[in-house]
């Protein structure tokens, strides 16, 4: 039986009116994850930034809903929720699948004359390149092949992957999320007038530095890149290094991302 979707619950912490002196940073999770992926971020970006994890349909508190299978469906739903909030000072962060969704949200909100102050993308090749994927989409893959794909990214504990009970619960969500990624098709549009910061792991086999560099062609408002040691989930292991970079980007300090292998910074095109 198909689960019924509802239009609420995108933001588990349903705060009131935004503080005009603080920026709301909406954080979109990777495939298979929910808003709790950003639990450790709360209160760690300083007084000027409020971290708002995004809860996508089909997980955690929204488990009763059918998970979406297209980026457009998720982006449209989130934009409707953002429009209700009416934030004037806000930004986006997305990791992996979340970066694709954040990019689509940034475009939609910009078209509505309510652009984010900054777009921070992590662990995802720029959409024009990410859209050129080969092989069967997730919906056509068997369970064993899908589990191998999850395992290759390194973000799911092995005991979870080996648990038939856990996989029975999680595989439909992973399958839907991978359909979002595998089925994504880039639509050429004018570049964003939003600064973009691209982050990644140096040992992430699916996101080469060239894939991060390609984000610079999607904005006219400034671009910076930072590569950290680690694989696809580098941000979990390097959180103390990642959060200051995210804060600097959101506070308009992208040219001063701190020491380390920052690359590709430029004031604009």
Predicted confidence (pLDDT) at residue 269 exceeds the cutoff of 60: no
DSSP designation for 30: P
Predicted confidence (pLDDT) at residue 19 exceeds the cutoff of 80: no
Predicted TM-score (pTM) of this structure: 0.87
DSSP designation for 265: E
- Find the Cα–Cα–Cα–Cα dihedral 226, 232, 237, 240, rounded to 10°: 30
pLDDT value at residue 169 = 81
Alpha helix positions (H), 24-163 = 71-85, 97-111, 127-130, 143-153, 158-161
Q: pLDDT-based confidence at 137, cuts 50/70/90?
A: low
Is CATH 3.40.50.1820 what the domain over 23-266 is classified as, yes or no? yes
Domain ranges of the chain: 23-266
Q: What is the mean pLDDT of the chain?
A: 86
Contacts 24+ apart (CB under 8 A), 211-214: 211/124, 211/125, 211/126, 211/129, 211/130, 212/125, 212/126, 212/264, 213/126, 213/263, 213/264, 214/125, 214/126, 214/128, 214/129
pLDDT value at residue 264 = 40
Predicted confidence (pLDDT) at residue 262 exceeds the cutoff of 80: no
The distance in angstroms from the start CA to the end CA of the chain is 50
Predicted confidence (pLDDT) at residue 6 exceeds the cutoff of 50: no
Distance CA 49, CA 35 (A): 17
Lowest average pLDDT, out of 98-112, 126-140, 183-197, 232-246, goes to 126-140
Q: How many residues does the chain have?
A: 269
Distance CA 121, CA 159 (A): 29
53: number of Cβ within 10 Å:
24
Average pLDDT over residues 152-172: 80
Cβ-based burial of 164 (10 A; exposed 0-12, middle 13-18, buried ≥19): exposed
Specify the higher pLDDT residue, 161 or 211.
Answer: 211
Tell me if residue 96 is catalytic.
Answer: yes
205: number of Cβ within 10 Å:
10
Both tokens of 105, joined, read 């949200």
Is 167 within 8 Å of 156 (Cβ atoms)? Answer: no
DSSP designation for 135: S
Is 18 within 8 Å of 88 (Cβ atoms)? Answer: yes
What Cα–Cα distance (Å) separates residue 45 from each residue in 62, 196, 246, 255, 267? 26, 18, 8, 18, 24
* % of the chain with per-residue pLDDT over 70: 84
Cβ-based burial of 68 (10 A; exposed 0-12, middle 13-18, buried ≥19): buried
Phi, psi at 261, each rounded to 5°: -80, 65
Active-site position among 13, 36, 96, 110: 96
């Amino acid at each position: 039986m198909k689960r019924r979707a509802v239009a609420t619950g995108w933001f588990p912490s349903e705060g009131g009116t935004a503080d005009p002196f603080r920026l709301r940073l909406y954080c979109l999770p990777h495939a298979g994850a929910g808003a709790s992926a950003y639990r450790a971020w709360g209160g760690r970006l300083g007084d000027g930034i409020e971290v708002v994890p995004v809860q996508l349909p089909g997980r955690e508190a929204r488990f009763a809903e059918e998970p979406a299978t297209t980026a457009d469906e998720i982006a449209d739903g989130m934009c409707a929720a953002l429009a209700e909030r009416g934030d004037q000072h806000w930004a986006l962060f997305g990791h992996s699948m979340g970066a694709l969704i954040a990019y689509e949200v940034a475009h939609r909100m910009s078209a509505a004359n309510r652009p984010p102050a900054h777009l921070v993308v992590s662990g995802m090749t720029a959409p024009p390149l990410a859209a050129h994927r080969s092989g069967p989409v997730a919906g056509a893959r068997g369970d064993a092949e899908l589990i191998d794909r999850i395992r290759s990214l390194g973000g799911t504990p092995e005991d979870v992957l080996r648990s038939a009970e856990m996989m029975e619960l999680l595989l439909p969500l992973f399958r839907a999320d991978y359909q979002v990624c595998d089925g994504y098709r880039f639509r050429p549009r004018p570049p964003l007038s939003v600064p973009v910061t691209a982050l990644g792991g140096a040992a992430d086999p699916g996101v080469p530095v060239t894939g991060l560099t390609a984000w610079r062609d999607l904005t006219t408002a400034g671009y910076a890149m930072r590569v950290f040691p680690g694989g696809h989930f580098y941000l979990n292991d390097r959180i103390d290094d990642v959060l200051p970079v995210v804060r600097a980007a959101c506070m308009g300090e992208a040219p001063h991302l701190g020491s380390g292998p920052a690359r590709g910074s430029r004031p604009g095109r």
